[in-house]
Amino acid sequence: MPYRRLPNTDLARFRALRIAYEKGKELPPFKLAFSQETLQRLNSSLPGFEKILLECRQAFNKQVNSSKEYKKSLQKVKLYMSHFIQVVNMAIARGDLRSTDREYFGFSHDQKKVPAFQTETSVIKWGEKLIQGESRRLMNGLTPVSNPTIALVKVKYETFLETYIFQKMLQKNLQRCQTKLSELRITADDIIVTIWNEVEDYYKDLPEEHKRNNSRIYGVVYFYRRNELRKKNENPALPV
């Protein structure tokens, strides 16, 4: 015998609520298969659930679209920062700069390894060190690093910082929205269970086939177990 399965996604929840809502609008109270009390709960809860569901979808899409530009700016600033440090090392190797110049940027005088910049935090930390370090060098009358200059590095760094802050804001918006949706999900599930229970109870005196067919009109979903589905496929004459 087919078993009833409740919605397991938010879109499926909304669909189930919407079907019941439309039946509540379409039928007079004495023909409706679930109670007026449940209909009132449905009418008061559905708009809020629909609103937050839409907001979550929009917040997710915004974050996905923004992440493309964010990843580009992240890769770009990492490249410029890496090249800047490599230029410093090469200038020191040629004798154009002193090894002690590395100390302006937060390195020891003999540290030649370029940081990996594996996290956003490390990019922000080293970006600030490079910009501030080169500023101190120039104030002391030392030769500026070029190709890339710190001005170019700073432009890429500030662009990255803007996209980073914006991306974090979008993530917080999505998280806040998902938290609210998880709260509303509990109420939605309770209303759906109540509606489906009342609908099945309304048609309880009908034969099983007719009971399920009438309940489906209200959005109740039935599934066959694997062995039942195999038997049904072997014998298409079996009732749905």
Which of 211, 188, 189, 184 lies closest to 200 in space, CA to CA? 211
For residue 207, cis peptide bond before it (omega within 30 degrees of 0)? no
Secondary structure (3-state) at 236: coil
Mean pLDDT calculated for residue range 88-115: 94
Residue position matching structure tokens 């569901």: 53
The reply to whether 51 falls in a domain is yes
Share of the chain above pLDDT 90, in %: 90
Mean pLDDT of 97-115: 94
| Assigned domain for 239 exists | no
* Rounded (10°) angle between helices 36-94 and 150-202: 160
* Strand, coil or helix: 127: helix
Q: Residues near 217 by Cβ (< 8 Å), separated by ≥ 6?
A: 23
Distances (CA, A) of 99 to 62, 88, 109, 129: 46, 9, 5, 17
Average pLDDT score over residue span 198-216: 95
Number of domains in the chain: 1
Mean pLDDT of 38-56: 97
Whether the per-residue pLDDT at 203 is higher than 50: the answer is yes
Longest dimension (CA), the chain: 96
CA atoms within 13 A on the CB side of 165: 6
From the CB of residue 55, how many other CB atoms can be counted at a distance below 10 Å? Answer: 17
Q: Which residues pair with 223 in a beta bridge?
A: 3
The pLDDT of residue 53 is above 80: yes
Task: Please answer whether residues 193 and 16 qualify as being in contact, where contact means their C-beta atoms are separated by less than 8 angstroms.
Answer: no
In a domain, 223, yes or no: yes
pLDDT tens for residues 7-46?
Answer: 999 999 999 999 999 999 999 999 999 999 999 999 999 9
Give the domain range for residue 12. Answer: 3-234
**Quick check: 232 pLDDT over 90?**
no
> Which position has the token pair 């935090």?
121
User: What pTM was computed for the model?
Assistant: 0.76
Rounded Cα distance between 185 and 117, Å, is 40
Q: Is the pLDDT of residue 148 over 60?
A: yes
Containing H/E element for 222? strand 222-223
pLDDT per position as a tens digit, 72-89 = 999 999 999 999 999 999
